[in-house]
Structure 1
Amino acid sequence: MTCKPLIGLNADYRAAARNMPAYSYIAAGYFQSVIAAGGIPVVLPPMDDPESIHEALEVIHGFIMIGGADLDPRNDGFMLHPSVRPLDPVRETSDRLLVADIAERRMPVLGIGTGMQLLNVHQGGNLFLHIKEDLPNAVPHHDPQDPNHRHTLNVEGDSLIGRVYGDGEIRVSSRHHMAIDEVAPGFRVTAKCPDGVIEAIESEMMDWFALGTQFHPECGAASALDVRIFEEFIDGVRERMNQEDLRLVA
């Protein structure tokens, strides 16, 4: 019987306020999607200790970097735009340590929303800080009144995203005001909104199964096709596990 892969998930963080203690949390859609796809979710709270993160990743087979608030552009040498609502520094510090270790060990990774943006930034790409200003002709990618806001997608057929969605018009759940500008070296764009905003990237590196979606396949409005992204990711993780088993036998 094939072992179920352990899939790491980072968690969000909210600082203590008034009579509320600090706490860490994660939207249920992420770990529910992992379970439905045949993986075992392992949620890691924010940690600022690289050694602890390294040891945790030693026993994990793949990782999903979840969405959330905005990356603080000051951490990448840019000014803070008025529209940016940064992640709590406790989470962003931990997320950056996680991505650095994941990239170093070439662990299979799926970045969603902010997770995709961080993957791109860490690997040498950059971001538009506010779509309305940087791409004024873009369609709305965020509706404060509709958390399940959807828009269409154009997909590259020869990609994982292409295998998931196939041909025809696709609609995905989207809620972001930042977006990828320059794509990191070693990655290619595999899906865009018709307005040109990048919605998915995938690694072209032979030794790293890595992809990201700006849209949210884990959300409540996700379709059966959206959920297949997690199935494809879990399948890729299993393939990596089998390759490592073969190397050990050899």
Structure 2
Amino acid sequence: MHRPLIGISTYVEASTRYGVWDLPTALVPTGYYELVQAAGGAAVLLPPDEPGRAAEVLSRLDGLVVAGGPDVDPLHYGAARDPRTGAPATVRDHWELALIGAALASGMPLLGICRGMQALNVALGGTLHQHIDGHVDAPGVTSWHPVRPVPGTRYAALVAEEAEVPTYHHQAVDRLGRDLIVSAQAVDGTVEAIELADPARWVVGVQWHPERDKDTRVMSSLVSAATARTTVLVS
């Protein structure tokens, strides 16, 4: 059986130096595709495209990972910009929100990581806290803290115990989007994981970065769901 194809969103950096070149580059940290591969999937990197092509792109894939990155523009959830919110990533916002919408519409397994979880919440009509203290120690330095699974959720079934996770964020879920439930929290109550309430749908968001500690439990579950979905579609 072929490994399921898992798409990973990428983003454009206007100036990236490699070798003798300094050019705009679509990229994503290697940890994302390495985690997909370690979990048994084949990784496909998805550069930004026209939002209207999202469904076409996903029609060739089996699962989707929306990667971490900059703040989601508050205009997408009807809020005024906090001074501590980062500059808009307009192209990325529109593309990733379109990918999420297409994945949800098709029933594709979907994992949102950090910004990806926030974008998932926004795509379903939720809002974000634009700044919280205590989850970032210093620029570019990953923090570690415990998260507690919520009993009865998909995440709790995968990771039954409190776990230390690598995290780097200053924004978090505020009002939950439609049909979403909280599946893990930090000690201070910050929402650390969300998922669709429908147990038949594999849609999960985690606020931390599993690609940094190589914990494959959540990603392996995504790959298994993608494999099962592909088998049903082919049969």
Using structure 1 for the length normalisation, give the TM-score. Answer: 0.86
Residue of structure 2 equivalent to 1:237: 226
Deviations 1:189-230 (CA, angstroms, capped at 9, x unpaired): 1100011000001112255310000011111xx15xx22111
Q: Indicate the RMSD between aligned Cα atoms, in angstroms.
A: 2.0
Q: Is the 8 A contact 1:160 1:232 kept in 2?
A: no
Q: CA deviation at 1:85?
A: 1.2
Judged with a 3 Å threshold, the aligned counterparts in structure 2 of structure 1 residues 159 and 81 are, in CA distance, closer, same or farther, namely same
Letter in 1 for 2:25: Y
Deviations 1:5-28 (CA, angstroms, capped at 9, x unpaired): 0001110212359x9432111000
Question: For residues 140 and 146 of structure 2, what CA distance do their matches in structure 1 show?
Answer: 16
- Which one of 211, 219, 227 corresponds to residue 216 of structure 2? 227
Q: Is the 8 A contact 1:4 1:40 kept in 2?
A: yes
- Which one of 3, 27, 30 corresponds to residue 28 of structure 1? 30
SS at match of 1:60: coil
Moved over 4 A (4+): none
Residue of structure 1 equivalent to 2:141: 147
Structure 1: give runs of 5+ residues left out of the alignment: 133-139
SS at match of 1:211: strand
2:56 corresponds to 1:55:
yes
SS at match of 1:22: strand
Aligned 1:42-121 pairs, distance under 5 A: 42-51=44-53, 53-121=54-122
Aligned residues: 232
Deviations 1:159-186 (CA, angstroms, capped at 9, x unpaired): 332233223x421111111100111121
Question: For residues 140 and 100 of structure 2, what CA distance do their matches in structure 1 show?
Answer: 30
Residue of structure 1 equivalent to 2:42: 40
Question: For residues 227 and 83 of structure 1, what CA distance do their matches in structure 2 show?
Answer: 33
2:148 corresponds to 1:158:
no
More strand by share: 2
Letter in 1 for 2:6: I
Q: CA deviation at 1:44?
A: 0.8
2:194 corresponds to 1:195:
no
Q: CA deviation at 1:63?
A: 0.2
Q: CA deviation at 1:147?
A: 2.2
Deviations 1:81-132 (CA, angstroms, capped at 9, x unpaired): 1111135322222112212211221211000000000111111211111113
Q: Is the 8 A contact 2:136 2:142 kept in 1?
A: no
Judged with a 3 Å threshold, the aligned counterparts in structure 2 of structure 1 residues 194 and 31 are, in CA distance, closer, same or farther, namely same
Higher deviation after alignment, 77-86 or 200-209: 200-209
Question: For residues 172 and 199 of structure 1, what CA distance do their matches in structure 2 show?
Answer: 10
Identity, in percent, stands at: 30
Q: Is the 8 A contact 1:186 1:203 kept in 2?
A: yes
Letter in 1 for 2:37: I
Judged with a 3 Å threshold, the aligned counterparts in structure 2 of structure 1 residues 240 and 86 are, in CA distance, closer, same or farther, namely farther
Structure 2: give runs of 5+ residues left out of the alignment: none
Q: Is the 8 A contact 2:77 2:126 kept in 1?
A: no
Q: CA deviation at 1:236?
A: 1.5
Question: For residues 177 and 200 of structure 2, what CA distance do their matches in structure 1 show?
Answer: 16
Q: Is the 8 A contact 2:7 2:44 kept in 1?
A: yes
Residue of structure 2 equivalent to 1:186: 179
